[in-house]
Chains A and B, each alone.
Chain A
């Protein structure tokens, strides 16, 4: 199906996912709405446990039931509704139209098979390539992701590769079928800082080359600032702000976003650290009203009673805060 220019590559609408716990089914993410456009990099940012990985896995259809289930919402890839596909159809989509790179390169590759075998397997499955063609393409892919001596590396077992190289191999696997959308779930968190920069550069280059969109899930604001066109901020299972990257950093509209930016340590030694007081609420003991209000320095009485909706305060700018139009929040990069 040829995508029309106006349709975003990925459209997520009012997504809700539940997981089973000792105290029954619990809503883990609620009302998630955002989209990813052609050839853009969208950052999905939030602290650990805010539900960004769950969202990413829901898009891929990887939420196993039990222990989780999608209870509401729509996920459209190039206009096609993914939540209505059965498992067989979804398998054709995964790895082919949308691919995912995970956080832990050390454990995300099967230790019992060679790197080449694992790449070839994907090519043979989706493109029907012959063994020889798949192997040749695997070597080619390894070269593209910057692995030296690819024709030797292709027969290496994962434990013979360093962490950075494993992550590159995983990227090669994900991009082997040239998907429309690549979801990268904290792709650099487990890597050394120097390697992080290389992997991010690699991703940016490949995105250009393959003309694909990227959904980058991360908790690292620095990564977002460097690589993303637009940003979605999540807190305690909800989307709290959506914006273009530059505007988000310069003029945040949600108190949580502003507080996150304040958390970034300044480069001057005499600047005090300003952590956000309190803790992220667990989904089984949520506050009434706005989820952030107990920790928000701009909270008023109404914040404790009304659950704010996600509303568009400017073109391309959505905020979940009843005081969004009144607050003047400071950003960074001034």
Chain B
């Protein structure tokens, strides 16, 4: 399996380079003169010129890219023009917050989605299945900000069971940390759980109609044996793919949830950065998130080897 992992990692290098090109290339999408944009409306000629030379905007594109990439590899992603704070510092400070949120959201969506999908798929056509399927159809259609707002309203404000805004660090107070994260994580998790449930159900249905499950049934094995051993292991393959996809989605949606619940993570800062035209922060975020997703996909790919022994030899 190690060799499989190493091979996958090698294939990923051109992809990572492209991601970095996209991240850096955002700069060239800025209409007009980037220096003017970044400097803002009220800047003087000198300030604009200063920014231009500070950011090296007067050099050829490929040199700028190389510089930026070189800095990035060493951990320097530039500075936010307004605050003057280093981008990497900002991201580093906010990273644990966002990761906690994502961790909880992922755990919830898997814990809700896989069992729900398994039951629905195993008892295909039953009332329970139809109910769950309808639920997932609706769940997939509900935008995260709607579920976030509804949860915040009903559970947070009207019922006051859990706090509706804010964030408390784990080291400060673990219980409060969990309480503050629960609603936002649940809001994030709902759509993900629906997707995972759907894919699990489809996977179970597809597998349970495979010939080898037919053989298992014809051998008189019990439900637990047929479902547990023969069906689940094989059905998990597409589910792993979906879980991997969810991680990507969750990263994106966390931006919205952080806004609504006032959580000081990477995403909420991104929204402000967009309003402020803080290009270095935007680039840095895109680069880092892109790398993270690529890494997750590689991990998912390698995990196939466990579920499908044939892949190990490939």
Contacts and interface: CB of A to CB of B under 8 A. Distances in A.
Contacts of B212: 107-111
A60 B216 CA distance: 12
A251 interface: no
A108 B219 contact: no
Interface stretch (A8-16, A69-77, A86-94, A217-225): A86-94
Nearest to A92: B220
A301 to B, nearest CB: 45
Contacts of A112: 230, 233-234, 307-309
Given A110-B230, A112-B233, A112-B234, A95 B219 contact: yes
Contact of A125 (B220, B233, B310): B220
Contacts, number: 79
Contacts of A174: 218-219
B166 interface: no
Q: How large is the interface on A (under 10, 10 to 19, 20 to 34, 35 or more residues)?
A: 20 to 34
A256 B230 CA distance: 42
Interface string A125-158: 1100000000000000000000000000000010
Contacts of A244: none
B125 A122 contact: no
A283 to B, nearest CB: 22
Q: How large is the interface on B (under 10, 10 to 19, 20 to 34, 35 or more residues)?
A: 20 to 34
A280 interface: no
Contact of A102 (B214, B221, B222, B308): B214
B229 interface: yes
A16 to B, nearest CB: 22
A111 B214 contact: no
A62 B221 CA distance: 13
A259 interface: no
Interface in B201-220: 210-220
A111 B310 contact: yes
B225 A125 contact: yes
Nearest to B221: A125
A62 B219 CA distance: 11
B211 A62 contact: no
User: Among B211, B215, B217, B309, which residue has the most Cβ atoms of chain A within 10 A?
Assistant: B215
28 contacts: A62-B217, A66-B125, A91-B221, A91-B222, A93-B220, A95-B218, A95-B221, A99-B219, A102-B215, A102-B218, A104-B211, A107-B211, A108-B212, A108-B214, A108-B215, A109-B212, A111-B212, A111-B308, A111-B310, A112-B307, A112-B309, A121-B229, A122-B220, A122-B221, A126-B220, A170-B215, A173-B215, A174-B218
